[in-house]
Structure 1
């Protein structure tokens, strides 16, 4: 007999709740087809960025961007627009939902907390990591490295047993 798991509905809530002041918007998980479309769009942008190309934010025209947000926010998009939520906040909610769909709740929460500033999502650069390691634990390694014992430096004995440089 095969393994039997708990019902998936009992394991997690597949909604995302975004607070706007006293109002909370509950974004439902998209259909599998819509989720795959969002995944395809975002993976294209990720491949461009990984290849060193700047992501062209004009890849989507206004209608395509609205369609992407509609895929991510579902029926909540119309609710937010009818409630008079500003475009920048609707867009932020839509992109947060996109991160939720593609990468899960932890990444979505991290994006939500950035207020839309992508530089706050980036891992620290080398200089920041160095500064953190210098001020980190405060325990520097003061033990000197042992010198090479390979015999490639210093004077070598010649066949006659004499040491010296040039003959």
Structure 2
């Protein structure tokens, strides 16, 4: 009988979220929490390749979910002991909610989905915080590159059409072999 090594060697012990310069390490979710998340979002099929629209739809679904059993709120369940530390550190509620939703995406779609949700500021359909500067830098580089290349830009073909071509990419029928 084959024996495999310890599975814990393949998983990080949790997810680290940085809030106001302080790192909070969220532990791996319990089996019950993972099952609850998967049961409640079975219709959304989140994974690491989920689109921004799918992430946003899942976030809206999660906001409508019935509470988990017991006296804890969803952020308390998702964040575990980290929730109490955040409260003690004076972290504001919107940040705690955002961190909890990030953990939800981590449970459902892995680090990639959680990272996309986190870097979008909770709005996967929106642009990230540094995109404006990035767009300006790209625009400047494109302009400088185009000017430096000296290559003229092609004229507009708006309102014109080309002649229709017959089969074989515009070539006339005949042999495809070598011509003498």
Helix, strand or coil for the counterpart of 2:35? helix
2:90 aligned with 1:91, yes or no?
no
2:120 aligned with 1:114, yes or no?
yes
Change (3 A) 1:24 1:12: same
Unpaired segments ≥5 residues, structure 2: 46-52, 128-161, 169-180
Question: Hey, what does 2:16 align to over in structure 1?
Answer: 17
1:36-51 matched pairs, under 5 angstroms: 36-44=35-43, 46=44
State the Cα deviation string for residues 3-43 of structure 1 (Å, max 9, x = none).
x3221122221300001232100001121012111222233
Q: Which has the higher contact order (CA 8 A, sep 6+)?
A: 2
Helix, strand or coil for the counterpart of 2:41? helix
Q: Give yes or no for contact 1:26–1:76 (8 Å, CA) kept in 2.
A: yes
1:63, 1:13 → 2: CA distance? 26
Change (3 A) 1:61 1:5: closer
Change (3 A) 1:56 1:28: closer
Q: How far is the alpha carbon of 1:144 from its aligned partner?
A: 5.0
Question: Hey, what does 2:4 align to over in structure 1?
Answer: 5
In the TM superposition, structure 1's runs of 4+ consecutive aligned residues that sit over 3 Å from their partners are 53-58, 60-64, 142-145
Q: CA RMSD in A?
A: 3.5
Normalised by the length of structure 2, the TM-score is 0.55
Q: Give yes or no for contact 2:33–2:77 (8 Å, CA) kept in 1.
A: yes
Normalised by the length of structure 1, the TM-score is 0.59
Unpaired segments ≥5 residues, structure 1: 122-141, 148-167
Count of residue correspondences: 121
Helix, strand or coil for the counterpart of 1:39? helix
